[in-house]
Amino acid sequence: MLAAGVLLVPGAGPLGAARAHPHAWIDLQTTAIVDEAGQVVALRQVWRFDAFYTLFVLEDFPPGGAGPDDAWIDALMVQNLENLADYDYFTEVLDAAGAVPFRGVEAVDGRLAGERLEMAFTLVFDRPADAMAGPVDYAVFDPSYYVEMRHRDGAGSVATQPADGCAVSLTRPDPEPEWLMMAAAADLGPATDSDLGRLFAERVVLTCGGQG
C-alpha cells in the first residue's frame, strides 16, 4: 500500500496517489538503542516531513495565526503510527538470526520544526538484535517508493545510544538506470503490492564488540 494511504491529512483523508515516484520526501534521523550486553533493543527515529505534506496538514490554520498546538500534532502522529503498524513502521531490521519483529512504539512526539512537521518515536523490538554476534542491518523505507526516505545529514544522522562501543556505517543506494525508469513511470494505486522502495533504500550497519 502506498504511503499516501497511510499518512493522514486532517479533514482531507489520505494523500492522493501520484503518477511518478517518489512524490513525497522524509528526512530521517535514527539512533539504535544498545544495552550493556551489546544488544540492540530499540530504534529511535525522527521523521521530518516535506513542506508539501506539512502544507496539507496545516491548510486549515490561517497563516500568521497561532497554528496547531503540540497536543493536536501529537494526536495526528499517533494516528499515523497506528496506520503504519501494519507496515512495520516502514522499518526492516536484520541480525544473524534473521528479521527482527517489533513490539510497538513508545515516546511518540510530534512538533512543528520551523516550517516542517516532525514525528519522533521509539520503535521497540520484540526480541533484541544481537550486535555482538554479528552486524545488525536496518533500513527505513516506503516499499512503494511513494515516499523517499533519506537520512538528512547522511552518516551524521545515524547514531547509537550510548555513543561508544559500536560502529555505524550508512550505505547510499546506487540505483540502476532501469530502476530510475521504473520509478519515473510508476502509476501505482493504493492496492498495488510494490517493493520498488527497497531498491532505493539506504542501509545502516551496526557492529559492536570489535566485530568487523
Nearest Cα to 73, choosing from 27, 28, 117? Answer: 117
In a domain, 16, yes or no: no
The pLDDT tens digits of the residues spanning 23-52 come to 789 999 999 999 988 899 999 999 999 998
Banded model confidence at residue 12, pLDDT cuts 50, 70, 90? very low
Using DSSP's 3-state secondary structure scheme, residue 65 falls into coil
In a domain, 61, yes or no: yes
Mean pLDDT of 171-187: 71
- Give the position of cell 522502495: 197
In a domain, 15, yes or no: no
- Give me the domain span that covers residue 132: 3-10+21-208
Torsion, Cα of 120, 139, 87, 81 (10° steps): 0
Number of domains in the chain: 1
